[in-house]
A and B are shown apart, each in its own frame.
Chain A
């Protein structure tokens, strides 16, 4: 292996670990990773603040905190591994570009592995930078300094092993399926699998019950559940390494070791096979092929500009891995928050659960509002990312309509692909669970809100989705995350409570519908006003001027 080849490839692959949407300006991977590390360190500080405020913790609190931090590490590293789904295994681009060059597959593999491992390790350290010091020192079984040092060391080791397990398990899962299935079928299934893994990791994190005490861990009734909850395996490993005397931890800790060994081994074998055997095969075979549905001929029902735009958007979302990934991330995040809201109903006793589902309440209103907002926001964000930028000339030379016609087409595409799927699912859920009147009233409100949110996305978006160039770094993820957590979620909660109050009487419902209708009309008017000076659609995003003239030389 040539060190220079490794260094160059390492840098290239590091750029590809996290998606383009997150890239900092100038595509600088150091800045990108810095942003990510800052975000994770912020989460670490947030988790440490309660401890800094209360000072000391009881052993029971410490046990819950240790398990929570282990689970947090596993979910964050798991999600990052799923987001870097395409970063570790060789793809067509690697095969086409690197195969003709005198670069050994081993070098490509090592560079990819090093880039991904670096990003994951950095994330892990950032996520534990405060908790790994403040909380870890509280997990000591003795009051001595040596005990605290040991607890900190054990904390880092057990959390690192837990993170390594999740990371390698994701690679092993992907690698095993990629080797078992023909490549084209794997590529077709890759996006649903990625989204499934995303939801599974989040779902386990949010829905797993609290079983930290030795009594609960040893209870026979919990053993089948514990077999599927890896965070408790590594929690037991932590307790064992930390010198906890209870024998209840031994079998779970052994399971953690075995699971880590299996995940590591499978990941290593599948990676080796992929790089040594599959690289040439990838170059020979085409990528995802469109499905040959019998009904495809009749699919483009509307032979119009909105039809063309909607179909182009749909096909891009279905077939472009990068765009699917961004949408999956948004929807997965939304689903996680939805699970938090419906978790309370899940854990109710059987008798109470049926009543809780059928009683109109915010536990279902908030998820529907949230998913509607997330779906529209995801589509708005992903629509700004171009697919095959250099192919957009066809939209330019066929720009035979005025901008207003394109606005109508984009609005319809956003409504069809962003709002409608959530709306249909919500309609099924609400009509099945709630009394008809409440369900219909909420669906009317949801429809108006969908139109309103779509309208909010349109001013300034004088583009056709997926066709305009994109300036990276404008996502500002590190700020957006905190804005969503601190402002958007409480706001949605307030809106849901307000809506519930208004739905309980006809006058309130009429008032809310009237208010939303007026808002929608005003929003549409604003969109039209903003569009008025635009004479042509935008295909090249321009950098905002860095230097503003103050015109001081003017009289």
Chain B
């Protein structure tokens, strides 16, 4: 179980996340939603240890992760929002390096990499430089790197970004399959339809604060709204999208 208790992160005096508290349980996919700049990726980075929170605590299986970061990182897999990779390496070299960095045994990890490359249709391109990969191919590399060590906690920040339809369908099923096998999955996305399909529980962030933390069904009944999109629009969207789009079109034609 992943718990965030009162996590705050400020840049100067501007809050990126403010008193964020929620729990992601094993066996369920926790959707983490919010508009651009609401603090989703900041939260993800705090959980991974990439940035430090100003206050609050992150607990995994009841223990603060800060007590033993190394042990926590061994059990965590992370797909970041942006596919920043070492593009001078090939896909295979990159994944082998990740396995080496995680001190995974050589032969099983090589077989695992090979299998995952096959399953994600990347095997034929494994010896090409990542600089020649499309965004979707890079996303697949990130996904394999995150799953290589069979993590108990999986953090997915916009994992569908750049993926083709086929790969998106595979990933959607994979997330559900991993959750059913007891993994803790925190999943951030702007694709509300996908979130509604695969997440049992959502946390909605608005202007650095958690404004909703419940199952989708309960939110629907509480707010008397039929879809997650309607719930999200009511909680986290402040502008009239039709009016804004009209203003944009007017402005570029002026």
Contacts and interface: CB of A to CB of B under 8 A. Distances in A.
B180 interface: no
Q: Which 5 A-B pairs have the closest CB atoms?
A: A308-B100, A303-B106, A286-B132, A398-B101, A390-B84
Contact of B70 (A292, A307, A315, A401): A401
Interface size class on chain B is 35 or more
Contacts of A358: none
Contacts of A395: 101
Contacts of B76: 397
Contacts of A288: 88, 129
A308 B101 contact: yes
Given A397-B50, A399-B73, A305 B100 contact: yes
Interface stretch (B91-99, B190-198, B215-223, B227-235): B91-99
B89 A394 contact: no
Contacts of A399: 49, 69-70, 73
A129 to B, nearest CB: 41
B177 interface: no
B31 interface: no
B96 to A, nearest CB: 6
A396 B49 CA distance: 8
A398 B73 contact: yes
Contact of B88 (A305, A315, A400, A536): A315
Contacts, number: 101
Interface of B: 48-50, 69-70, 73-74, 76, 78, 80, 82, 84-90, 93, 96-106, 109, 127-129, 131-132, 145
A509 B100 CA distance: 41
A192 to B, nearest CB: 17
Contacts of A388: 84-88
B95 to A, nearest CB: 10
B145 A394 contact: yes
A549 interface: no
Given A396-B48, A399-B69, 15 more contacts: A292-B127, A300-B106, A303-B105, A303-B106, A305-B100, A305-B101, A308-B101, A388-B86, A393-B50, A394-B145, A396-B49, A397-B78, A398-B98, A399-B70, A399-B73
Interface of A: 286-290, 292, 296, 300, 303-305, 307-308, 311-312, 315-316, 319-320, 387-388, 390-391, 393-402, 536
A388 B129 CA distance: 14
A412 to B, nearest CB: 13
26 contacts: A287-B129, A288-B88, A288-B129, A289-B132, A290-B89, A290-B128, A290-B129, A292-B127, A300-B106, A303-B109, A305-B103, A311-B97, A390-B84, A391-B87, A393-B48, A393-B84, A394-B145, A397-B48, A397-B49, A397-B50, A398-B73, A399-B49, A399-B69, A400-B70, A400-B102, A402-B70
A84 to B, nearest CB: 22
Contacts of A311: 93, 97, 100
B147 to A, nearest CB: 13
B252 to A, nearest CB: 17
A400 B101 CA distance: 8
A394 B129 contact: no
A300 B70 contact: no
Given A320-B88, A394-B145, A398-B98, A304 B103 contact: yes
B132 A300 contact: no
A307 B97 CA distance: 9
A248 to B, nearest CB: 53
Contact of B128 (A289, A296, A315, A319): A289
B109 to A, nearest CB: 7
A303 B131 CA distance: 25
Contacts of B145: 394
B50 A396 contact: yes
A303 B98 contact: no
Contacts of B102: 398, 400
